[in-house]
A and B are shown apart, each in its own frame.
Chain A
Amino acid sequence: DQQVKQNSPSLSVQEGRISILNCDYTNSMFDYFLWYKKYPAEGPTFLISISSIKDKNEDGRFTVFLNKSAKHLSLHIVPSQPGDSAVYFCAASRVKTGANNLFFGTGTRLTVIP
């Protein structure tokens, strides 16, 4: 009963090109979505987030798009850099309930090839 899904376990992209990581969710009560980045032997690090009242949020090279009707969000990284190589986790929460716990996907391993 995984409520947040990342169906691509891995993605390889050439340096300088765009990386697109996808995430789907099943719970329509989710109203806040986040992307975390994780290097080996480290904890997840917050990258970017988006509220359900928006459909796009941009921060430098990172842009998150939200399609509520499709229950789908994506993370775009452009241009991709070798240092972006990591595992990216999508997460969702139900902020309006007052709860702050995050529901995570299983991650997508991004490899940026120099």
Chain B
Amino acid sequence: DTAVSQTPKYLVTQMGNDKSIKCEQNLGHDTMYWYKQDSKKFLKIMFSYNNKELIINETVPNRFSPKSPDKAHLNLHINSLELGDSAVYFCASSHRGLAGGQETQYFGPGTRLLVL
């Protein structure tokens, strides 16, 4: 079984549409993340959730909103899609890192979003 899964794997949509990307982890982790990899291959943190609480929110447009129905899921909803949103979006999960300890993050396979 895949530890961190994402759906869909590919998403092609028109500018202005609203879309969601789903992420599920079966590792029993309590923290989940969303990363964006842009055309320059730069992988950047967008959000993380711990116990249903947003603990990191980097400077991303408020058109992006993470939704966590439970500890095993962190979905990414995007409103009014723009051309610049085209990228690969990776979900990840880990145990919550205590100060002084880094917990390994496990990544999903990515969702390739293309906005036309």
Using a CB–CB cutoff of 8 Å, the interface residues on chain A facing chain B are 2, 32, 34, 36, 41-46, 49, 51, 87, 89, 93, 95-104, 106-107
Contact = CB atoms under 8 A, between A and B. Distances in A.
Interface of B: 4, 31, 33, 35, 40-45, 48, 55-56, 58, 90, 92, 94, 96-110
Given A41-B110, A43-B108, A44-B90, A96 B100 contact: yes
Contacts of B35: 104
Contacts, number: 69
A85 B31 CA distance: 30
A102 B110 CA distance: 17
A104 B102 contact: no
Nearest to B108: A43
A32 B102 CA distance: 7
Contacts of A101: 33, 45, 48, 56, 58
